Amino acid sequence: MSFLPSNIIYNFLISFGVIVGASLLAGIGALINDHPPLKTMFNIAGSVKIWAVAVALGGTFSSFEAIEKGIFKGEIKSIIKQAVYVVVAVLGANMGYGFIRLIQKCGESIIK
């Protein structure tokens, strides 16, 4: 995997999409099961954040291999590249979480 801006965009949007997609589908499941959908969406968004980052990175082992290569073979560029990918994936997951929080806040204000 080369260090391209498109990979950074993919990592961000994949982690964002995992959070939003999982939360929205959990909300549909909550409606079917007669549970509160907004609360369920918020709980799921918080619990899948780490998985969204792992999915965006393409699995954890490839990242560990790249970091290992950087540490033991002296390839600092590899460590920096993986660090950027991890930070971008975390940002995407947090933005997805924030988006779900925004939906929850808007839903609560409409209900009141």
Which pTM does this prediction carry?
A: 0.82
Q: What percent of the chain has pLDDT over 90?
A: 54
pLDDT > 70? residue 63: no
User: What domain count does the chain have?
Assistant: 1
pLDDT > 60? residue 2: no
Host domain of residue 99: 5-111
- Looking at residue 73, its amino acid is K
Residue 59 has what pLDDT? 64
Cα–Cα distance list, 41 to 7, 27, 56, 97 (Å): 28, 5, 20, 10
pLDDT > 80? residue 49: yes
pLDDT > 60? residue 57: yes
Burial label, 92 (beta-carbon count in 10 A; 0-12, 13-18, 19+): buried
Mean pLDDT for all residues in the chain: 86
Write out the two tokens for 5: 């801006």
Cα–Cα distance list, 10 to 37, 76, 88 (Å): 29, 23, 9
